[in-house]
């Protein structure tokens, strides 16, 4: 199975900060890397698919980059509604696998 490792596991940031979350795959997954946001008690919400494509309705402050095994989610200017947990996920092959999550908290 492909292992997905996110870093950091948690971070504290202020409104307006630029935030970067890293995700590494244990083998090449080409561009089949997706990012989800999850708020407490809610289902995950797709933010970015295919490494850098923004899902419809997602604010442009979210962006993704990378290829092969190393990927990044960037929030250009953190907003109050962005405090949540973020997961990367590979859809290159089954079993699909998720990173362990990165919790973004208010500083």
Partner 1 sequence: EVQLVESGGGLVQPGGSLRLSCAASGFTFSSYWMHWVRQAPGKGLVWVSCINEDGRDTRYADSVKGRFTISRDNAKETLYLQMNGLRAEDTAVYYCARDPTTVVPLDYWGQGTLVTVSS
Q: Which residues bind partner 1 (CB under 8 A)?
A: 1, 32, 34, 36, 38, 43-46, 49-50, 53, 55, 87, 89, 91, 94-101
Residues 6 or more apart whose Cβ sits within 8 Å of residue 91 = 32, 33, 34
Residues pairing with 10 in the sheet: 103
Which is nearer to partner 1, 69 or 91 (by Cβ)? 91
Which is nearer to partner 1, 16 or 95 (by Cβ)? 95
Which is nearer to partner 1, 49 or 71 (by Cβ)? 49
Phi-psi region of 46 (alpha: psi -120 to 50; beta: other; left: phi over 0): beta
């Amino acid at each position: 199975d492909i292992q997905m490792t996110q870093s950091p596991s948690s971070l504290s940031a202020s409104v307006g900060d630029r935030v970067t979350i890293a995700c590494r795959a244990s083998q090449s997954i080409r561009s089949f890397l997706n990012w989800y946001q999850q708020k407490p008690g809610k289902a995950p919400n797709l933010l970015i698919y295919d490494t850098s494509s923004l899902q419809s309705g997602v604010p442009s402050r979210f962006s993704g980059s990378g290829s092969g095994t190393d990927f990044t989610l960037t929030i250009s200017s953190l907003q109050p509604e962005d405090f949540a947990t973020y997961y990367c996920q590979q859809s290159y092959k089954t079993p699909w696998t998720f990173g362990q999550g990165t919790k973004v908290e208010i500083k």
